[in-house]
Amino acid sequence: MIRVLVVDDSNSVRALLMHILGTAPGLAVVGCAADGEEAVKLARELQPDVITMDLHMPRMDGFEAIRRIMRECPTRIVVVSGSDDRAEVDASFRAIEAGALVLVRRPLGIGNPAHADSARDLVRTVKAMAEVRVVRRWSDARRAARPLQGAPRRLVAVGASTGGPTVLRDILAELPADYPLPVVIVQHLAPGFMDGLATWLGEASGYPVEVLKDGAPLVGGRACLVPEGWQATLGPGLVGRLVLAPPEHGMCPSVSHLFRAIDPELRPATAAVLLTGMGKDGAAELKLLREHGALTIAQDRASAVVYGMPGEALRLDAAMLVLEPAEIGKVLARLPAEPFPSSVFPTLGDLP
């Protein structure tokens, strides 16, 4: 049984969330809090498996409550957002920075036709987060970047899921303002948050980030997020195209589609990165890119919130390098001037 603490300052919202979570098989609501101070206190006393967290509350807001909880009694935290306001959505990513795992839309009321679907999304997210490691321990060991030689790269493609936003922040923070390679990212995210992620990532990393537009040229000096509900293809002329295609691994956009849809002419000149996340999205396609001459990188186990996607890549022998986020950023930053030759890559057996 997954034990859940519900935190929200609205009586009606608390009642709605407690009803949805309390009647779902496998879940039990063990307590509720109306503000951040009470949330921190109950998190210590009840030690729930998952906390659903509101952000705007009296006495102590959700941001500070998350920071306190992650410092004093680390717990899996799901932020439940009820606002469509652009500023509010952008600000929600501060909660991820503070230690929350994911953002999810507040379920619609019982009388709404979309209530059942939105309630299922919340239940599914809470159950999935209960399987995530409570504490993210990023390795302090730093592997010096190897001397880089060889043919230049023209594109960086990145895939991430649960735990991805802060990892993307740390990778992009290592890229210089005049970085010449375009960066295209698929990040699994709840609907309605992609624009907010772009704003937060750009501000938090210091590297410009925007949402990819159909037909837009892919240029250096900025990163592009594939928008929700679309799959992306990357053409030989470094042009991004958005296509209406079915979800893969239940995701749209999906990492698998992005990696596979890189034009064959671009694949040998691509650096592809697979980061933290559940499932297998992108792993087989990372191997395909490696076989076509791309530089392939997977996040290491110690730094990943969930080691499903990068772990599957390692199982398939798809990754040439296995690194923590900051080291991934440093390797990418050095690619344009000093790209890797295939002959200097260590095998997976050589990596710690």
The answer to whether the beta carbons of residues 243 and 214 sit under 8 Å apart is no
H-helix or E-strand spanning residue 155: strand 155-160
Single-letter amino acid, residue 315: R
Q: Can 161 be counted among the known catalytic residues?
A: yes
Each residue of 103-136: b (16+ CB within 10 Å) or e?
bbbbbbeeeeeeeeebbebbbebbbbbbebeeeb
Rounded CA gap, 89 and 283, in Å?
30
- Nearest-angstrom CA–CA distance, 339 and 316: 24
Cross-strand pairs, 322: 298
Q: Supply the Cα-derived Rg of the chain in whole angstroms.
A: 20
Catalytic residue among 49, 54, 188, 256: 188
8, 35, 170, 281: which is the annotated catalytic residue? 281
Residues 6+ apart with CB under 8 A from 261: 231, 232, 233, 234
Strands 231-234 and 240-243: antiparallel
| Selected catalytic residue, list 35, 49, 54, 161 | 161
Report residue 144 as tokens: 């010096």
Contacts 24+ apart (CB under 8 A), 140-148: 141/352, 142/326, 142/327, 143/323, 143/327, 145/327, 145/330, 145/331, 145/334, 146/340, 146/344, 147/338, 147/344, 148/334, 148/335, 148/337, 148/338, 148/339, 148/340
Q: Is 188 a catalytic residue?
A: yes
Whether 83 sits among the annotated catalytic residues: the reply is no
Helix axes 308-315, 283-291, angle to 10 degrees: 40
> Widest CA span of the chain, in angstroms?
62
Active-site positions? 161, 188, 281
